[in-house]
Amino acid sequence: MNAALLREKFSEIAASLQGWATIDQIVDACNAAGFWSDDFLTDAEDAAKKSAARKLMKTLRAGGSPEWASIVTTDEEGDEQRIYKQETLFDVEDYRQVVRYHVDRAKYHRETAQAYADRCEAKFDVQLRLPFDDRIQPVGKPR
């Protein structure tokens, strides 16, 4: 089934819930509607295993930060691939990639927070102040 049809079918299922629902209720509704194909379930099992491994990597911490991070590297054929690497093996370029990723995510989250605040103001005429600015604050001791 193509992505547009999947979204349409999911939208119908979600609309039948008529408002708020827990993720368990949404999944139960999808189960009851026969939403999940065998191919989807096979792919979902593989994705769940990958997700569990990523979550476990995030729990392994050193000095308050995860010991593992993902970076993009080039394989022997010249194709880019994402790999997971322990920080003890990082070089300067690895640190550069990881820092850039987190700066980009911070920008995305700030823009998303601002969009929600703007919609709140438009809908309720209530202005929400964002509790941060765009500057990166130093962590730990200054050098």
Dist. CA 62–CA 25, nearest whole Å: 37
- Asked if residue 22 belongs to a domain, the reply is yes
Backbone angles phi, psi at 9, to 5 degrees: -65, -45
Q: Is 29 exposed, middle or buried (0-12, 13-18, 19+ CB in 10 A)?
A: middle
Dist. CA 129–CA 79, nearest whole Å: 44
- Asked if residue 141 belongs to a domain, the reply is no
3-class SS of residue 71: strand
- Asked if residue 7 belongs to a domain, the reply is yes
- Asked if residue 32 belongs to a domain, the reply is yes
Over the chain (143 residues), the average pLDDT of each successive run of 10 is 88 90 95 93 95 94 91 94 95 96 95 94 92 57 50
Residue 14 belongs to domain spanning = 1-38
- Asked if residue 11 belongs to a domain, the reply is yes
- Asked if residue 58 belongs to a domain, the reply is no
In the chain, the number of structural domains is 1
- Asked if residue 21 belongs to a domain, the reply is yes
Predicted TM-score (pTM) of the model is 0.63
- Asked if residue 31 belongs to a domain, the reply is yes
Distances in whole angstroms, Cα of residue 10 to Cα of each of 21, 37, 42, 63, 65: 14, 13, 19, 43, 37
Q: Is 82 within 8 Å of 71 (Cβ atoms)?
A: yes
